[in-house]
Amino acid sequence: MGTRRLGKFGLVLVGALGGVLISLGLTAAAQRGGPLPLKELQQFANVFAAIKGSYVEPVTDKQLINDAIKGMFSDLDPHSSYLDEDAFKEMEAITQGGFGGLGIEIGSEDGMPKVISPIEDTPAARAGILAGDVITKIDGKPTKGMTLNDAIKLMRGEPNTRIVLTIQRAGRDKPLEVPIVRDIIKVRSVRSKMLADDIAYVRIAQFQERTVEDLTKALGTLSADKKPKGLILDLRNDPGGLLDSAIGVSSAFLKPDVLVVSTKGRIPSSNREYYAKPADYMRGYFDDAASKSGAKVSDWAKTVPMVVLVNVGSASASEIVAGALQDHHRAKVLGNRTFGKGSVQSVLPLSDDTGIKLTTARYYTPSGRSIQVTGVEPDVTVDDTAKGNLFRLPREVDLERHLSNASFAEGENKTPSEDAPEAEAKMFEFGGSDDFQLQQAINLLEGRVVMRNDPSLVANADKPKADEAKSSKATDKATDKATDKAKAKDSKKSQAAEKKTPMTGNGEQIERFKITPDGLVPLQQ
């Protein structure tokens, strides 16, 4: 890879996508832990020699050493690992936003990869892959029980190579076989658009090297005609990425010099505080965007009423941003409790193209809370869809060997609503017209009632199918008429009750807000 390429990784990473590249001397690190255990190292050398000389099949030195290194990580936390040549190259490609693949965001459901969204203008989108498609086979290999990372590795590959996905699509009895030719995928870290009533919408899919630049350009475009009166920052299913990008994004919305995040670890270099900063590179982006839009992006972005959308897939760098904006009361956080990854990884290069990713610190929000295993609790809890929650991804607390949180009893981490089966909900497009959480965020900004879900849809979906079609056609018609009358009466009652008492979908009272030049102001009940 070379020194020049390693230099590009001199950045702090948090999240599922990577770690932190910091120069730590391995010799110095060994010295901090005391003298080398010579007796144990001699035992390792003896085992190495025995396998090398006597195993039933020949094993190369490289394979033995690599396997031994991997074994050292087997009892550490799930985010520490050995990065061989392929893993090191993949990490570089992801953080820089480009790799060979298909162009789909995927999650896991029932032990199989499920398409969250095809990325526009990519091979997957052109081949007709749709949100909600379940990938049952990859090149004929069943995906049942396959880890998400293994599925991703199978789908990635060199550009212009062919792959066949077997998918199960709702409404079709038979699976579909979809041939796709891989291409270079340039992931758009930031997407934005203007919604109705001058509300700006910005989605960050990953925290990459260009995220801050892309964000500020998007903010400049959104304010080109006039200043938005509200802003929604969408961090759902954003697995994390570069810490520098998380700090830069937070700085776009916070006052200068306020604390964004702090880290604490065993070694002094792990104990740091990061503040919102109008760094030179950020200032250049803001000024460029401002000159094109005729407005100071940095001014309106720090004052406009704001809602942050999060869910179970929002991890690490996403949690840093959401936690900072929440602690400083800059934005209301809406959605579901986040993933709960509150640890920082350091990548120590072993050679030009290998390294180790090691957890070296925990991070803390500005108020000093650790979100390790707890996640960020939203100010307003709203289900993924009107019919209930859709994404059932494992959280940090579900991972084996995860780091604990001394201030939190893990038995409290799961709530009945998460354990209970949800109503059947359909996949949707983030930022689309069928995005229930987005609609509730708009309601919050505009001072309207915010619902956790639609109780009628949940109730209807939860009814046992055996209860349907019990009566004859004549009875059905009579029942339908009675039901229509009851619904009309209930609708009138509901509308009257809604005017008197704003309620969430589960019957809890909620706050209502209105947009003012000073931000979100609670309405008098």
Q: Which residues are catalytic?
A: 316, 327, 341
Q: Distance between CA 121 and CA 134 in Å, rounded? A: 20
Cα-Cα-Cα-Cα torsion 373, 376, 380, 383, nearest 10 degrees, comes to -50
CB-based contact 115:132 (threshold 8 Å): yes
Q: Distance between CA 524 and CA 513 in Å, rounded? A: 9
Q: Distance between CA 109 and CA 106 in Å, rounded? A: 10
Instruction: Tell me phi and psi for residue 48, to 5 degrees.
Output: -55, -45
CB-based contact 52:64 (threshold 8 Å): yes
- Sort strands 230-234 and 306-310 into parallel, antiparallel or unpaired: parallel
- b/e 465-478 (16+ beta carbons within 10 angstroms → b): eeeeeeeeeeeeee
Indicate the residue type of 11. Answer: L
With the C-alpha atoms ordered 141, 186, 239, 19, is the resulting torsion angle positive or negative? positive
Task: Provide DSSP, 401-444.
Answer: TPPP-TT--GGGS--HHHHSPPPP-----TTSTT-HHHHHHHHH
Task: Provide DSSP, 302-362.
Answer: TTS-EEEEE-TT--THHHHHHHHHHHTTSSEEEES------EEEEEEESSSS-EEEEEEEE
Indicate the residue type of 61. Answer: D
